[in-house]
Structure 1
């Protein structure tokens, strides 16, 4: 079985939590498939691209360079599905081959949790709050720098979450 050691997208190394690389056989031909469990930050970064320049280092030392089509798989853990058509299967003889009619596909989510992924790379999200406060508090908030407010809210929310064992 072929194992992925590292992956670079457009020259940038990404953290992979699990992966599967295999040959997919369909009625239209053969394709090289690379399924990756990555962080939510990585999915967000590459979701807008249809094609990516990939460098895949395998555990046996081989390096595969290819332009691959990208799909974001919904649900479950954050995943990228990358694929490219293959004309010559000779250099991929030791890769697992899966037919479109097979009922088995690699389960790369097994044994990984979203909490583990977020320990490595926590995504940031913008949030807007609508509050009704006394005018003196509103004036004080408006006078603060955004970075100070973000730090303050992070600390307050983290303290509350610790108290609630979240």
Structure 2
């Protein structure tokens, strides 16, 4: 199996948690397939792109540069599945091969959890809350800076969660 050392998307190196690169053989030809487990932030950044410029550095020192199409698989860990058509699969003789009739595909999610991914890169999202509060508390909330309120709620939720309520 060919191992990946680094991956750059549009010139920017991304953190990968696991990956698989292989040749997919079908009746219509060959495609180079790249499956990578990445952070939720990386998926969000690239999920609406059709094509990306990919640079793959393999452990053996080879570099593959290609424009690849993006597929997003939902339901499991955050991952990008990238592929490009190949004229001839012989150039990649040492790569694993998957035939369209096979039931085997590389399982890149094995041994990785979402918690481990979030330890490396935690997504931060905005949230809006609708609360009924006394007017003096509303006035106080409105007078606070957003960053201060965010920090206050993070600490409160962390402490509340930690106590197991």
Q: Partner of 1:161 in structure 2? A: 161
Runs in 1 of length 4+ with deviation above 6 angstroms? Answer: none
Unaligned runs of 5+ in 2: none
Unaligned runs of 5+ in 1: none
- C-alpha distance in 2 between matches for 1:134 and 1:12: 49
Question: Alpha-carbon deviation of 1:88?
Answer: 2.6
Q: Partner of 2:138 in structure 1? A: 138
- C-alpha distance in 2 between matches for 1:162 and 1:61: 46
Q: Partner of 2:98 in structure 1? A: 98
Task: Determine whether 1:20 maps to 2:20.
Answer: yes
Question: Alpha-carbon deviation of 1:164?
Answer: 1.3
1:111-150 correspondence runs (5 A)? 111-150=111-150
For residue 119 of structure 2, give the secondary structure of its aligned residue in structure 1: helix
- C-alpha distance in 1 between matches for 2:129 and 2:148: 16
Calculate the aligned-residue CA RMSD, in Å: 1.0
Deviations 1:72-98 (A, max 9, x none): 111010010000000132320111111
- C-alpha distance in 1 between matches for 2:47 and 2:104: 26
Q: Partner of 1:49 in structure 2? A: 49
For residue 102 of structure 2, give the secondary structure of its aligned residue in structure 1: coil
Question: Alpha-carbon deviation of 1:56?
Answer: 0.4
Question: Alpha-carbon deviation of 1:48?
Answer: 1.0
TM-score (ref. length: structure 2): 0.97
- C-alpha distance in 2 between matches for 1:153 and 1:78: 27
- C-alpha distance in 2 between matches for 1:162 and 1:5: 38
